[in-house]
Amino acid sequence: MWSNVSFVSFLILALAPMCSNASSSCADLSDTQRVVAEIAKNYIFRTYPDFKADDLCLQVTDSQGKWEVTYRLPANRIGGAPVVLIDKQTGDVLRSYRTQ
């Protein structure tokens, strides 16, 4: 069984190279946040196929033992974005919803 530290370390080592050439949406994120962002982006792609991120910036927030990942919408854009909650210990998606 994975310990919490070894699982997160594994994710960082496994996915960080995929994020090294990431778009500007990942530019201001730490390595751990980039891995979390990749998990969320893959989940959003599968779960919300009609959502188009275009050039939106990802927002990864540490929220009481979980990561909250969403996209920041520009002030001149109406609508919403998916929000994905990811367990910090396991990297599992806990739940998601879409704002409007």
Cβ–Cβ under 8 Å, residues 54 and 73: no
pLDDT at 61: 93
pTM over 0.75: no
pLDDT at 27: 62
Q: Which amino acid is at 59?
A: Q
Cβ–Cβ under 8 Å, residues 56 and 72: yes
Query: Which domains are delineated in the chain?
Result: 4-98 (3.10.450)
Sequential pLDDT tens for the chain (100 residues):
545 545 554 554 444 444 433 333 446 788 999 999 999 999 999 999 999 887 788 899 998 889 999 998 888 888 889 999 999 999 999 999 999 8
pLDDT at 77: 81
pLDDT at 23: 37
